[in-house]
Amino acid sequence: MATNPLAPAWLRLPADANVLADGLWPATAARTPQGELLIGGCTAAALAAEFGTPLYLIDETDARARAASLRAAFETEFARIGTSVHIYYAGKAFLSTEIARWMLAEGLNIDICSGGELAVALAAGSPPNRIGYHGNNKSLAEIDEACRVGVGTIVIDSPVEIGRVAAAAARHGIVQAVRLRVNSGVHAHTHEFLATAHEDQKFGVTLDDAPALVGRIRAEPSLAFRGLHCHIGSQIFGADGFAESASRLLAVHAALLDGGPVPELNLGGGFGIAYTSADTPTPIGELAASLADIVAAECGTRGIPVPVVAFEPGRYIIGPAGITLYEVGTTKAVDVAGNPRLYVSVDGGMSDNARPALYGADYTVRLAGRVSAAEPVLVRLAGKHCESGDIVVDADYLPADVSPGDLVAVAATGAYCWSLSNNYNFLGRPAVVAVAEGTPRMLVRGETIADLLARDTGVGAGSTTAGSTTADSTADLPKEPSR
């Protein structure tokens, strides 16, 4: 069969549309002899039967191994250049108490950017001093709470925050360690980066303004300046963008040493992963080695000591460890100028994975309940929302006999899917289940119709129509699976 001209240029026609390509699926993903998808030793069908679909699954072994191996790689490479690293797990990618515990147990700290994320990290039992808090508009109450509980570091994002954090720290009688977020002017995404001199974005202060602002921070007795912080983007392949950014940051870092100690440098997160077979992220060990070489060279050129270096990866750790299971509800073949495309609609969509609609993100889909020898056909995996842009996988190949009732799995949905999930069209957010060694464990239960109605103050009040629809009356609705 020839490649379908409707397929994007990067998508190859697979010889076998059942294959779980290396690097795309969680480490424990495999097929049983009968062809079912197996993850963490559990079959997709058993998980769907127990928890319903859509369902987020996290391969615990893989998530923890990715955290541990990333930390080991960075520790080794930065020890080679005579310094140490702090690795923060970027909770925005996917945060629950259990996942925070895994990360802490693997020796990572937790990076948060809101009072809600702080509450989750604390509920997980995180020592406050292992929490780093950034964000461009932390409220006064959030800053106060962060200082009250004693978070390790706060990233100051704008001039006005210097006084706010200083006042909160003084109120609580502490000296708060802070970083200053700067804009290096480098924006990186996948293979390319853009370096500009001027900034037009909401995060951080310019490198030009940094020395005066650090002077202000140092003048506050309740603040202790730790170093500069920068994040140049996400889903980055290769080290070139980091090299340019680190070079710009270390020039300012070196100048700041004239005014006092600058023990740290935080280079942010953004390490890329594979969402499709066309993605070729840099292996983490190579990236760690390149970043260490860059920092060593830049410090060497300037004759300054190598600082402790901090990183904040999220997607790299949790993204590939997660998949989403869906059930196919309908299929529809269309003909586009003589070329076939099969729409396969599933029971979730942009409410559980907003990334395709938000960023045009690509994903990979495979049959999860069986394999099939039918020839591969070009499919578009659509959601069930009332929105034509509600697409989960814009283009991939599935066996031509994919049918209603089939289970399908979408790879690499561990990062920024559950955390961006929403209730569009009043769909409840799916459950999150961790799987390991043949045992599933619910991390977050799914939302029910009763959950969705519970906050509507009009339910049960006033008119006869409204009165007939109480939260309790949802017991009469068809039972949702335990999602």
- State how far the Cα of 198 lies from the Cα of 196, in Å rounded to an integer: 6
Closest CA to 436 of 63, 52, 19, 25: 63
Feature table: binding site for substrate: 315, 355, 359, 387, 416
Task: Based on the shown chain and the rule CB under 6 A, indicate whether residue 245 belongs to the binding site for ligand PLP.
Answer: no
The H or E element that residue 286 is part of is helix 284-302
User: CB 196 → ligand PLP: shortest distance, Å?
Assistant: 18
Task: Based on the shown chain and the rule CB under 6 A, indicate whether residue 234 belongs to the binding site for ligand PLP.
Answer: yes
Only segment of 17-25, 90-98, 425-433, 448-456 that touches ligand PLP (CB under 6 A): 90-98
Using alpha carbons, list the distances in angstroms from residue 49 to 43, 181, 265, 482: 10, 47, 48, 9
Feature table: binding site: 270, 312-315, 355, 359, 387, 416
Spell out, one character per residue from 253 to 292, where the chain touches ligand PLP: x when CB under 6 A holds, - when not. Answer: ---------------xxxx---------------------
In degrees, rounded to 5, the angle at the alpha carbon of residue 50 between the alpha carbons of residues 405 and 483 is 85
Residue 458: how many CB atoms within 10 A of its CB? 10
Nearer to ligand PLP, 344 or 420 (CB): 420
Burial 252-283 (b: 16+ CB within 10 A, else e): bbbbbeeeeebebbbbbbbbbbbbbbebebee
Q: Is 386 a catalytic residue?
A: yes
Task: Based on the shown chain and the rule CB under 6 A, indicate whether residue 231 belongs to the binding site for ligand PLP.
Answer: yes
Task: Based on the shown chain and the rule CB under 6 A, indicate whether residue 138 belongs to the binding site for ligand PLP.
Answer: no
State the number of binding residues for ligand PLP (CB under 6 A): 17
Nearer to ligand PLP, 289 or 415 (CB): 415
Only segment of 308-316, 360-368, 379-387, 423-431 that touches ligand PLP (CB under 6 A): 308-316
- State how far the Cα of 383 lies from the Cα of 350, in Å rounded to an integer: 7
- State how far the Cα of 178 lies from the Cα of 210, in Å rounded to an integer: 13
Feature table: binding site for pyridoxal 5'-phosphate: 270, 312-315, 416
- State how far the Cα of 351 lies from the Cα of 169, in Å rounded to an integer: 39
Overall residue count recorded for the chain in this entry: 483
Among 44, 55, 90, 165, binds ligand PLP (CB under 6 A): 90
Rg (CA), the chain: 24
Among 312, 327, 347, 352, binds ligand PLP (CB under 6 A): 312
Task: Based on the shown chain and the rule CB under 6 A, indicate whether residue 117 belongs to the binding site for ligand PLP.
Answer: no
Which residues have a catalytic role annotated?
386
Residue numbers of the site for ligand PLP (CB under 6 A)? 90, 92-93, 111, 134, 231, 234, 268-271, 312-316, 415
